[in-house]
Chain A
Amino acid sequence: MNSTATEGMREITYREAAREALHEALTNDDRVFLMGEDVGRYGGSYAVSLGFLDEFGPDRIRDTPLSESAFVGAGIGAAIGGMRPIVEVMTVNFSLLAADQIINTAATYLHMSGGQFNVPLVIRMATGGGLQLAAQHSHSLENLYAHVPGLKVVVPGTVEDVRGMLLTALADPDPVLIFEHILLYNRKGVLPVQAGAVDIDQARVRREGTQVSLITYGGSLWKCLDAAEVLEQQGIDAEVLDLRTLRPLDDASIMATVTKTRRVVIVDEGWRSGGISAEITARIHEQAFYELDVPVQRVCTAEVPIPYAKQLEEAALPQVSDIVAAAQRVVNGHG
Chain B
Amino acid sequence: MNEAPKPLPDNVDGEHALALFTEMVRVRRFEEKCAEMYSKGAIRGFLHLYIGEEAVGTGIMQSVAPQDAVVATYREHGHALLRGIPMNVVMAEMFGKQEGCCRGRGGSMHLFDKDTHFIGGNAIVGGGMPVAVGYALAASMRGQDAVAWCIFGEGAMAEGEFHESMNLAALWQLPVVFCCENNFYAMGTALERSESETRLVEKARSYKVTAEVVDGMDVLATEAAARRAAESTRTGNGPYFIEFQTYRFRAHSMFDAERYRCREEVHEHELHGPLRIFAARLQASGLLDDEKRAALEAEIAAEIDAAVAFAEAGTPEPVGELTRYVYSEAHV
Contacts and interface: CB of A to CB of B under 8 A. Distances in A.
B260 A42 contact: yes
B319 A312 contact: yes
Interface in B266-303: none
B148 to A, nearest CB: 20
A319 to B, nearest CB: 12
B159 A308 contact: no
Given A311-B96, A312-B319, A65 B155 contact: yes
Interface in A43-71: 43, 45, 63, 65-70
A307 interface: yes
Q: Is the interface of B mostly helix, strand, loop or mixed?
A: loop
Interface string A129-145: 00111111100000000
B125 A66 contact: yes
Interface string B288-332: 000000000000000000000000000011010111001000000
A308 B107 contact: yes
Interface residues of A, number: 36
B44 interface: yes
Interface stretch (B75-83, B183-191, B209-217): B183-191
Contact of B319 (A38, A69, A311): A311
B195 A65 contact: yes
B326 A305 contact: yes
B104 to A, nearest CB: 4
Contacts of B138: none
B110 A42 contact: no
Contact of A65 (B96, B194, B323): B194
A73 to B, nearest CB: 11
Q: Is the interface of A mostly helix, strand, loop or mixed?
A: loop
B172 to A, nearest CB: 23
Given A309-B104, A316-B322, A136 B259 contact: no
A315 interface: yes
A43 B156 CA distance: 20
A232 interface: no
Contacts, number: 130
B117 interface: no
Indicate the member of A41, A66, A302 with the most B CB atoms within 10 Å.
A66
A65 B203 CA distance: 15
B159 A131 contact: no
A180 interface: no
A134 B46 CA distance: 9
Nearest to B156: A66
Interface string A78-113: 000000000000000110010000000000000000
Contacts of A66: 125-126, 155-156, 158-159, 186, 189, 194
Contacts of B123: 134, 136-137
Nearest to A50: B259
Contacts of A193: none
B12 interface: no
B110 A308 contact: yes
Nearest to A94: B124
Interface string B83-116: 0000000000000110000001111111000000
Interface in A292-315: 302-305, 307-312, 315
Contact of A132 (B107, B160, B260): B107
B314 to A, nearest CB: 11
Contact of A302 (B124, B156, B256, B323): B323
A37 B189 contact: yes
Nearest to A136: B123
A152 to B, nearest CB: 26
Contacts of A133: 45-46, 109
Contacts of B107: 132, 134, 308-309
Contact of A308 (B105, B126, B260): B105
B189 A65 contact: yes
Contacts of B127: 136
A69 B164 CA distance: 13
8 contacts: A38-B189, A42-B188, A65-B186, A66-B158, A66-B159, A93-B124, A132-B96, A136-B109
Interface of A: 37-38, 40-43, 45, 63, 65-70, 93-94, 97, 131-137, 302-305, 307-312, 315-316
Given A135-B106, A307-B317, A312-B104, 9 more contacts: A41-B259, A41-B260, A65-B195, A66-B194, A97-B159, A131-B44, A134-B109, A136-B122, A137-B46
